Amino acid sequence: MPDCYVKKLYYDVIPGKGVDYDEAEPYTDETDEFEVKVQDEIAEFQMSEGFGTVEEARAVVERYLEQWKIIIGLQNDPGDLSFRYRSVEIETAGGDEDDLKRASCDISMRAGITAQAYVCRGAYPAPPRRFDITPDVKVMYERYKSFRNGEEPLPSMAYFCLTCLQNSAGDRESAAEEFRVSRTVLNTMGKLSSTRGSVREARKHPDDGEFRELSSTAKNWLRTAVKKVIYRVGEHAAVDREELERITMDDLPDFVE
C-alpha cells in the first residue's frame, strides 16, 4: 500500500445559543503544523505532510482549538463557539488526484437553534498566540465558566482565582512579581472578593455583620480583573516573564465601591 498522509481535517463550528457570526469575515491562521480557514460554520485545517495518522493530526488541531475556545470564552462568553470533528481527507504520497480519499466520521446532525439570535459577532477573536493551557488555567477557567453559567457567585470565583495565582508563586507578593501583575490589582481583587457581596454572594460573613453589596462598576472591575489574570497565567506559560507587560490599574475599568 502506498504511504499516505492527512491532507485536511474539517470541524463543525457551532455558535452558542443566541449567537451568530454571520457578519464576520473568514478567519484564517497559520502555524507550523497547519493552515486554518473558518467560514460558513466549517473550520478547514490544511495539514503539513508530517501527519501519517488522523489521531496525530487531531491531537495537534484540537490542542489549538482548546486554546482558542478559552480565549473566545474570556473575550466574549464561554460557549460562544464550540467545535466538533467532522471529517478527514487523506492523500497518498504520490499526490495523484485519483488517490485522494475522503473519510467522514459518524456524527449526528446539529440541532437547529430555534431562538432568534440576539448577539451578532462582527469578527472572530484573535488566534491563540503567546498562550498555553496549564492546570491552573484550566481550573480557573472552569470556575469562571461556573460563574458565567450562574452556578457560583462572583466573589467566591474571583477569590479562588486569586488564591490559585498566589499559591502557584508562594504568596501574593511573589505572584505580583512572577506574573507581572501590580500588587494594587491583586490587593483590590482580594478586598472586593473578600469583604463585599450580598447575603447570597459574600464569600464570608463580615466582621461587623453588615453586608456590603458590590456596585455594578465594582462587579465589572472584578470580572475584568479575573479574565486578565486567567489570560496572564496562559501567557506566562508561553513566553519569558520579561516579555510580559505589567498589568496595572490603568488596564482595568474605573469603579465605585
- Note the pLDDT tens digit of each residue in 136-153: 999 999 999 999 999 999
* Tens of pLDDT, residues 167-184: 999 999 999 999 999 999
pLDDT band at 106 (very low <50, low <70, confident <90, very high): very low
DSSP symbols for 51-98: --SHHHHHHHHHHHHHHHHHHHHHHS-TTSEEEEEEEEEEEETT--GG
pLDDT band at 205 (very low <50, low <70, confident <90, very high): low
pTM score, whole prediction: 0.83
* Tens of pLDDT, residues 223-239: 999 999 999 999 999 99
Q: What is the arithmetic mean of pLDDT over 47-63?
A: 93
CA distance 30 to 45: 9
Q: Which of 59-73, 115-129, 216-230 has the lowest mean pLDDT?
A: 115-129
Domain ranges of the chain: 4-120, 135-251
Decide if pLDDT at 38 tops 50: yes
